[in-house]
Amino acid sequence: MANKQRITGKRIFWALLAALAVAAFAFVMRPEPVWVDLATVERGPMEVTLLEEGKTRVKDRYLISSPVTGYLHRPQLHVGDPVIPGELLTWVDPMPATMLDARSRAEAEARIEAARATLESIRQKVAAAEAEAEFAVSEYQRLQRLESSRFISAEQLQQARTTADRARAILRSARFDEEVAKHELAAARTRLQVSSANENGGKPAERVAVRSPVNGAILTLARESEGVIQAGEPILEVGDPGALEVVVDVLSFDAVKLAPETRARLSGWGGPTLEAVVRRVEPVGFEDVSALGVEEQRVQVIADIVSPREQWAQLGDGYRVDAEFILWQSNDTLQVPASALFQHNGTQAVFRVRDNMATIQPVTAGQSNGLYTAVTDGLSAGDQVVRHPGRELSDGDRVRER
């Protein structure tokens, strides 16, 4: 009996020893927990925005050009000077006549004499035409008086009347030629007189005033010095610096997400953050080359500043701003770090951690701003998820937070 008890005790001892050995081996050979970064699912405000660089510009710009070809006087105004409607900006004198050398002057004097001689010749022709017209009219009147006595025929009377009409027409033509000759003589004299006046220091009798069409300020000076200017050539540009808009060049891929009345925030200009609203998204894009040499299709977006004028009084035309367009906004939404999401069996999923064990949890994702993503189903506030899950992490693995 004692021998049986000894054998049973030995078996129990060796069985316990084997169980401890197996347990120790299993403990030693079990996989190590995976080191991970954890994040807590929270509720809170969230925004999806689009950030681009833009610049300010005056809404209504008026480019003032020279109304005539002439000599521009030096503008006395500077960039930034205020102007009012009708204020004199500068003068444009008519183009001065060309200076005549000795040969040109002699030719001009000869043209005057030729024009005078032509005028005298035409006057003689006028005198001859007057005599012929007077004779033809008197002859027609004489034949009219004889018509009742039947000493002349109707054909003779008609011929006399035709001759009188022709003589009067020739007289009128001669008088018109006389007027033309008078004007040609005056033009020849004027060319010589104007050139002589300029040579003697005379000033032109006419000048054109260039005035401001609106209230505002000088924005640019295209011509700062006096000199000859052609009709239509720009002189300066005026506008109201208090009426600013913001022009932002955005990628065409992002432009389709914007629409009129989209809210925006303006920052990075040296003052407080300003509120703005999109007024227009241009329907036509253009090609631009980025700083890295990449060709991009961009679209201009125009936004109006809606913050009080006092907050951006120092903002001027052509200033740089950072425009942040608000595409989506929520005051209370469940959100997780965007880096925690991955694709699993065609759906979005995360690794949810409970009791130091990571399990794959499918979720329904909503809006994302690149840092955080809204979740509408699959998680609750307070749940912990793995940030940046690696390939070594699998469903059901033990994890340890770094």
Summarize pLDDT for 187-244 with one digit per residue, the tens. 878 777 766 544 444 455 568 888 888 888 999 899 888 888 888 899 999 988 888 9
Identify the pLDDT of residue 18: 73
Domain locations along the chain: 31-45+331-401, 49-56+242-330, 64-94+204-239, 97-203
What pLDDT is stored for residue 290 in this prediction? 82
Q: Give the architecture (CATH level 2) of 97-203.
A: Orthogonal Bundle (1.10)
Q: What integer pLDDT is reported at residue 201 of this predicted model?
A: 46
- Give the C-alpha separation, 332 to 229, whole Å: 65
The pLDDT of residue 31? 61
CB burial of 185-220 (b: ≥16 within 10 Å; e: otherwise) equals: beebbebbebbeebeeeeeeeeeeebebeeebbbbe
Average pLDDT for 339-361: 91
Cα–Cα distance for residue pair 297/113, rounded to 1 Å: 71
Residue scoring higher pLDDT (334 or 9)? 334
Q: Is the pTM of this model over 0.75?
A: no
The correct CATH number of 64-94+204-239 out of 3.40.630.30, 3.40.640.10, 2.40.50.100, 3.90.230.10 is: 2.40.50.100
Q: Angle formed by the axes of helices 102-146 and 154-199, to 10°? A: 160
Q: How do residues 297-329 score in pLDDT, each as one tens digit?
A: 999 999 999 999 999 989 988 999 999 999 999
The answer to whether 340 touches 383, Cβ cutoff 8 Å, is no
CA distance 185 to 192: 11
Q: Give whole-number Cα distances, 45 to 329, 337, 340, 372, in Å.
A: 8, 14, 19, 11
Q: What's the mean pLDDT in 13-31? A: 66
Domain 49-56+242-330: top CATH class? mainly beta
Residue 136 CA to residue 166 CA, distance in Å, equals 9
Tell me the C-alpha distance between 285 and 283, whole Å: 7
- Tell which residue, 341, 346, 325, has the closest CA to residue 378: 341
- Bridge-based pairing state of the strands 399-401 and 34-40: parallel
The CATH number assigned to the domain with range 31-45+331-401 reads 2.40.420.20
Residue 398 DSSP symbol: B
Strand order in the sheet with 82-83: 61-65, 234-239, 216-221, 82-83
